[in-house]
Structures are given as C-alpha cells and as structure tokens.
C-alpha cells in the first residue's frame, strides 16, 4: 500500500497516522463542544468544562463565544491537541433532540454567527476547528440509519446556512454526519460535499463521524477525506485496492493527501512549518476560569422578573433537586471531568446569603458508584478495577469513577478487540437506611453482586450503533435494603468478546425520601425569598436518545406549584440544556434560564442573583405555550426510517400560525430598562440609538428581522448589542449581508425577490419596535 493512501484513515480514535515520506507528523484530534475530551476517556484527565452550546447561543454575543473558544484552544495547545471537533452547528428544530444542549440555536443566522466566532477564536491559536455534523443531524433516534427528508429551499436557507457561515469564516475542517440526507449517507453524499468544496470553496479536511462509514468507494468519490476512528476499516488498505482497480481516480487520492498536508501545515505538523498562530494573547488556566464564569453570566436569560431580582442581602430558602446536584453538561459520548473544584449553586449561594436548603423531591437520581462513600477492599478511596485476560489480572487500578470507555486500546492491557473480563470491586458504606438501587451495564455481559448475592445482570448489547450504545449508557438495576453505616461489598463483572469500543457503567441511588416535599414547602413558607433550582438529571439529555416531551418531571412540577402557593417571591432557575415547558411561569416572581453553564455555573448564578452581574442572555430557542404548537410535534420516522421535515419550525412557525410563544425567541431582560430611538438604514447597516433609562449599567441586544415579499413570518437577519451607563445613549449598528435579501430558488440559485422587504427592528421575534421598508 502506498503511504499516501495509508494516511486516509486514523491511527487511533484520537490520532492520524504519521508518514515521513509526506512530511506528516501525527495529529491529535479531540472532541470538544463541552470541553476537551480525554483521548483515553480517563477521569484523571481533566479539562475546562465550557458552557454548553445552547448556553453559548443564549449569549447572543460573538465576543463572549470567541473568548471561550480562545480559552479552549490555548488549553488544547498546552495539552498537545491539534484539532477540536466543535462547534455543533446542527439546529434545535424540535427542542427534543438528545443533543439539543450542544446546539447553539434553532435559528441559522444566530447559530452561524456564533459558530463563525467560535471557529475564529479557536483557529487564531493554530488549532483547527471542525464544525459538525454536516448536515441535519438534529435527531438522535436511529441516527446511524435515519434519513432527513428536507426540501431544497429549506436545506439551503436553513440547515446548510450555519455551516456555510463557518466555512466562510475559514474553518480548517468539517465533520460529516451519521445520518442520511434524502436517502444518501452524508459521508458519501456527492451533492452535499460538492456544495461544501465547490460552491463554498472549502479547502480543509472532511472527516467522518466515528464509525459513520459503511463503504469505501462512494465516500471517497463524494469527497470524504479522512476516516475516523483508526485503524482503518473502509479507507487505508481498502481504498488503496479500490484505487489500484481504477474505482477511485488518482486525483481524488491526491486531493485527500493535499488536504491532510494543508491541515498539518496549519497546525504545525508538517515538516518545516510552524503552527499558524495569529493571536496576540495566550489565555492561562486562571484567566480561562474567569472567562467561563463571565460566559455563564452572559448566557443566563431572565424571562420574567416581578421586582424580586436582584436579591437583597439576607436569608433565602434554596430549594430544588438541582441546587445541590446540578447538571453542568449533557451526557455525550465524551464527558468532561472539570480541571478544578466546581461549586454547586447551593455552595455558591451559601457563600453570599444565609441559606436554608431542602431538595423538595423524594428521589435522588442515580450517580456514579465512585461518587458515594466507597473504598477498595483494602481501604483506599475509590474503586478497584481489574482487567483479566486468560484468567489472570493483567492490570489492577484504583479509580475515582465507575464509568469507563476505551477506544481501540486499554492502556497497559492491550487491544479492546481481545476477549476478557473486567471486574470492579468497591466497599460501599450507605449514609441512609432503606432500599438502594445498584446497577451496571456495558459492552459485554454484565453482572452486579452485593456481598456475593447477584442483584442484576444485563446481556451484551446487540451489534449496531456502537457509539450510540455506549453513549446511552444503559444499565440494569436491582434493589437491596441497606443500613446506614454498615458497609457492603459491591462487585461488577463484565465479560466481553472484544470489540472496537469497550465500556462499563456502574450506578447507585439511595432510597427515596417521602418527607422531602413537606419540608421544602415549610421552608418556603418561612422564607422571605425562595430560589428554586429545577431541571434535568445528568442522564436526561443523552447522545443517541431523544426526549418524548419538554415537561419537567411530575415531582418537580408539584414542588413548583406548592412552593409558589406559599411564597409569591419565588425565583425559578431552570438548569436544562433545552427549552422546557413552563405552564407555571405566571405563578412565580421570576424565571431564569440557567442552561448547562459549565464549570462557572454556581459562581455565576450567585453573582447574577446577588446583582454583581447582569443576566446578559436572550432566548436562542422559542418556548411555545405547549409542545403541540410546534410544527415538529408528531414528527416520527416512517417504516423506511425517513423523517419528513415540516417547515418552517420554531419561532417562524409560530409567527406564521399566529400563535404566541410563552418565551419568545430573542426575549430576555436585564436589571435596567431601555428606550430605542428611530432606526435608520445606512447602506448595508441598520443603526439604532438605544438609551439606558434605568438605574444600573446594562446590556441591550437589538435584533433585526426581515420579511421578504410574500412571506408572513419574520426571519432573523442580524443582531448587535451595546452596554451603557444609566442615562447614556449608544448607537448599535447591525450589518445586513447580501444574503439577507436573497432566497433560494431551485434551478436559479440565490435570487432577490422583487418588491418591498420589511425590516423589523426590536427586542425579540415578538417584540418589534419599528418597521422599515426596503425596495429591492
């Protein structure tokens, strides 16, 4: 096999193949929408934990997003990484995707503008950004096999638009999606990759999502450049044979190699070429944490405030299941272990206020066994992990987690393709009496025992979407009555026949507390003000699994209802990575969307509630009055695994249907008030003077929507923001590019419809303050 063909597939799950004859050094590629994922998925490898994609989208601030990306890129360089698979530019069209938290917005212009800022922020440090997943990977159900059936106009104007903006911002890579588009897999879709490389002039590397290839010739001819993970399955040697047989022309192989060499040159991994760094400032770890706290503050969206925020000094009741057990990130294939201690909202608020705390719901969600009071059989903190081959332990480790993934190799053991036994042993000392749940699952046949008694077992998952099976982390649990303070020995064994990926996940949950709601309501009744933190559990939003609806769990709804009944000064903080139904919103004094805000969540929340900082965000997605109001409600896969897209979606659908939103796209308030002066159109810019009419410094976001001739609903065209002191006036300028006026016409391409276009200027998709008319 010629060396140039060999490098078209990865070496491992995190590296490309080096090839001295081509001047290519090994490149390290890492997943990164929430932070830099450990190449070995080891909890001892820590990283910055970023605000999730939807939280970054809520900032409506390219400067903040660029600063977060810059901090991540600097960390990547310190750790020797060359490329980051991020940002996720798929659109939150349903609000129910298992990965909505990773997506920046439901709107292509907002997602594309912020995605381009992320790309620029990363690449100024000589690290490649790989936007993903091209295209329409906006559902997790049957993601490896489903087909997105979307009309040509919507594909061009909506779903491809953020990718086009990121490519025009100079992205050095793009990841192709698992799913099919119009029946053809995206990784081998010639028209899709022709648009990318031909129309948009993309000169970087197109990489497959992991295990997304199912063929050799079709992806190569379509324009895919690199198969991941390695070692090769469909490219490499098979591609060399296909080229030798004349099935793939030499120029296509040469193009693949040139693109890999170009990427290597940019990241400093081509002989004689230094890393292409244009940034003037390097972000160290201390500054990076400050950046992430400020980004979290900028992401919080205050959609209701009946004069209760900011909080006055004194005592408060901090209630809710997410106050002491928040979600900092979504459950993707690669979870991030934060590089520093992360404050919970409860801990951060206790540092600022006199706090009474109650969880308020009976159930405590299952957590990693290692997060409980556990030790190894000889008394060391952590769990004992033994890797057994041919009946003998070949590696024994003490680990601080009980969820493990290995890609291709188990360090110190050997290939994951070899059969073997994995044994986890931990001595658990319960902190409460009652019926505990303990469970496990993984990539092999798994058995859970407590003090020698088999409690649960789970067979190896069926072949198929191996990445999805690992990401779903499905477990089988059993129940056992334990006494507080009396230790028991938990042992989990997983027998594997071998495979490209191996995984084990062990969880435990304490018994429910039937008095939790009563204590919380009593605390709320006594308190001056309540901060009620509710939302998702760590496993609610998962890769490879969608959600059935947008409702909070019933016990959380009861908690909100009962607390609001006894205390009208209730502030609800939503800790979720997606739009949540909120029929209770008018019954509470304030509603703050806190998203998955990363490692700065607790600190930022305390600062915003106390008034040290303003909640700076605006809604990046719409929250309808009910799920049934969405155009996507009821969309399912048909018998051929096709999903037929209903268009338009989100706020554009509500506008066309004449249905009001509960929380409009773009809505949100701060701690001051604003007056908008007369808007004017000067060339390709809309200029709006804004005056701070309140008593505090604040930030205002001015949004411009456009309605073309014949359209009934608006679409976002651009946005801008300014900060001002009380009484001060600032001019906000929003540039409207040529694409603002264009619409895609099959057969003719981008065309400006003749007639008058309406330019709508305001504070949200439903709060339009001024309308300008532009003849075209």
Domain boundaries along the sequence of the chain:
3-28+82-266, 288-364+514-540+555-621, 367-509, 663-775
Structure confidence at residue 467 (pLDDT): 60
Mean pLDDT in residue range 12-32? 96
- State pLDDT tens for residues 416-426: 999 999 999 99
CATH 2.60.40.10, domain 663-775, yes or no: yes
The percent of residues above 90 in pLDDT, for the chain, comes to 91
Mean pLDDT in residue range 363-385? 94
Structure confidence at residue 291 (pLDDT): 98
Structure confidence at residue 216 (pLDDT): 98
Structure confidence at residue 542 (pLDDT): 81
Which listed CATH number (2.30.42.10, 2.60.40.10, 2.40.33.20, 2.60.120.380) goes with 367-509? 2.60.120.380
Print burial letters for 399-433: b (CB count within 10 Å at least 16), e (below 16): bebbbbbbbbebeebeebeeebbbbbbbbbebeee
Q: Minimal CA–CA distance to 48: which of 28, 75, 29, 14? A: 75
DSSP 7: T
Kindly state the tokens that stand for 450. 């407590």
153 has a pLDDT exceeding 80: yes
Structure confidence at residue 240 (pLDDT): 96
Q: How far, in Å, CA of 89 to CA of 87, rounded? A: 6
DSSP 505: E
- Strand segments, DSSP code E, in 275-353 are 301-305, 315-319
* Catalytically annotated residues: 209
469 has a pLDDT exceeding 70: no
Structure confidence at residue 499 (pLDDT): 85
Which listed CATH number (3.40.50.720, 3.30.360.10, 3.20.20.300, 3.40.630.10) goes with 3-28+82-266? 3.20.20.300
The percent of residues above 70 in pLDDT, for the chain, comes to 98
Task: Give the number of other Cβ atoms within 10 Å of residue 398's Cβ.
Answer: 13
Kindly state the tokens that stand for 652. 């554009």
Q: How far, in Å, CA of 131 to CA of 204, rounded? A: 11
- Strand segments, DSSP code E, in 296-391 are 301-305, 315-319, 354-358, 367-368, 374-375, 383-389
CATH superfamily of 288-364+514-540+555-621: Glycoside hydrolase family 3 C-terminal domain (3.40.50.1700)
Q: How far, in Å, CA of 93 to CA of 631, rounded? A: 9
- State pLDDT tens for residues 100-146: 999 999 999 999 999 999 999 999 999 999 999 999 999 999 999 99
């Amino acid at each position: 096999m010629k060396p140039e063909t060999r490098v078209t597939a990865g070496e491992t799950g995190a590296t490309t193949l080096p090839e001295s004859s081509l001047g290519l050094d090994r490149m390290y590629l890492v997943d990164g929408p929430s932070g830099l994922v450990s190449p070995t998925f080891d909890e001892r490898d820590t990283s910055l934990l970023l605000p999730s994609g939807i939280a970054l989208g809520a900032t409506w601030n390219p400067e903040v997003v660029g600063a977060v990306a810059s901090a991540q890129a600097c960390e990547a360089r310190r750790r020797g990484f060359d490329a980051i698979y991020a940002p996720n530019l798929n659109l939150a069209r349903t609000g129910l995707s298992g990965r909505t938290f990773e997506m920046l917005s439901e709107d292509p212009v907002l997602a594309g503008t912020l995605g381009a800022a992320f790309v620029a922020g990363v690449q100024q440090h000589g690290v490649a950004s790989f936007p993903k997943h091209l295209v329409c990977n906006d559902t997790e159900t049957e993601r490896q096999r489903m087909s997105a059936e979307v009309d040509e106009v919507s594909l061009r104007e909506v779903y491809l638009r953020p990718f086009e903006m990121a490519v025009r911002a100079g992205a050095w890579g793009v990841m192709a999606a698992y799913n099919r588009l119009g029946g053809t897999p995206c990784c081998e879709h010639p028209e899709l990759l022709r648009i990318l490389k031909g129309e948009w002039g993309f000169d970087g590397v197109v990489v497959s999502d992991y295990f997304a290839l199912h063929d050799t010739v079709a992806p190569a001819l379509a324009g895919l450049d690199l198969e991941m993970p390695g070692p090769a399955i469909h490219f490499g040697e098979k591609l060399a044979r296909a080229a030798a047989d004349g099935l793939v022309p030499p120029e296509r192989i040469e193009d693949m190699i040139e693109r890999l060499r170009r990427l290597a040159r940019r990241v400093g991994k081509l002989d004689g070429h230094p890393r292409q760094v244009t940034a003037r400032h390097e972000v160290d770890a201390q500054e990076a944490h400050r950046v992430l706290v400020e980004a979290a503050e900028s992401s919080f969206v205050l959609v209701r405030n009946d004069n209760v925020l900011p909080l006055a000094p004194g005592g408060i009741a901090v209630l809710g299941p997410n106050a002491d057990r928040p979600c900092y990130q979504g459950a993707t294939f690669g979870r991030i272990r934060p590089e520093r201690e992360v404050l919970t909202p409860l801990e951060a608020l206790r540092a600022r206020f006199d706090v009474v705390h109650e969880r308020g719901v009976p159930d405590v969600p299952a957590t990693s066994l290692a997060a409980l009071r556990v030790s190894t059989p000889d008394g060391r903190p952590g769990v004992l992990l033994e890797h057994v081959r041919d009946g003998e332990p070949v590696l024994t480790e003490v680990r601080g987690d009980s969820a493990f993934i290995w890609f291709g190799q188990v360090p110190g053991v050997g290939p994951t393709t070899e059969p073997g036994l994995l044994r986890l042993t931990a001595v658990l000392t319960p902190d409460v009496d009652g019926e505990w749940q303990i469970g496990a699952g993984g990539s092999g046949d798994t058995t859970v025992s407590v003090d020698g008694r088999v409690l649960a077992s789970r067979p190896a998952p069926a072949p198929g979407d191996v990445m999805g099976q690992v990401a779903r982390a499905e477990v089988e649990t059993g129940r056992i009555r334990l006494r507080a303070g009396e230790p028991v020995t938990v042992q989990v064994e997983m027998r594997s026949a071998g495979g490209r990926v191996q995984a084990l996940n062990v969880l435990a949950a304490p018994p429910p507390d039937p008095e939790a709601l009563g204590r919380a309501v009593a605390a709320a009744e006594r308190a001056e003000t309540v901060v009620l933190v509710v939302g998702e559990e760590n496993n609610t939003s998962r890769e490879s699994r969608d959600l059935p609806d947008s409702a909070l769990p019933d016990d959380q709804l009861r908690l909100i209802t009962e607390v609001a009944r006894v205390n009208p000064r209730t502030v609800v903080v939503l800790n979720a990575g997606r739009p949540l139904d909120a029929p209770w919103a008018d019954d509470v004094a304030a509603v703050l969307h806190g998203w998955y805000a990363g490692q700065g969540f607790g600190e930022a929340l305390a600062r915003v509630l106390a008034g040290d900082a303003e909640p700076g965000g605006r809604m990046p997605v719409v929250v309808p009055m009910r799920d049934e109001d969405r155009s996507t409600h009821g969309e399912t896969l048909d018998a051929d695994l096709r999903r037929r897209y209903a268009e338009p979606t989100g706020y554009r659908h509500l506008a066309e249907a004449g249905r009001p939103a509960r929380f409009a796209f773009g809505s949100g308030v701060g701690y001051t008030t604003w007056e908008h002066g007369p808007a004017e159109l000067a060339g390709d810019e809309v200029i709006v003077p804004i005056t701070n009419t309140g008593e505090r410094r604040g930030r205002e976001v001015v949004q411009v929507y456009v309605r073309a001739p014949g359209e009934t609903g608006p679409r976002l065209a651009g946005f801008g923001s300014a900060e001002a002191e009380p009484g001060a006036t600032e001019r906000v300028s929003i540039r409207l590019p040529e694409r603002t006026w264009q619409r895609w016409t099959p057969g003719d391409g981008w065309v400006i419809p003749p007639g008058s276009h309406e330019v709508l200027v305001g504070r949200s998709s439903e709060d339009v303050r001024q309308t300008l008319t532009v003849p075209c």
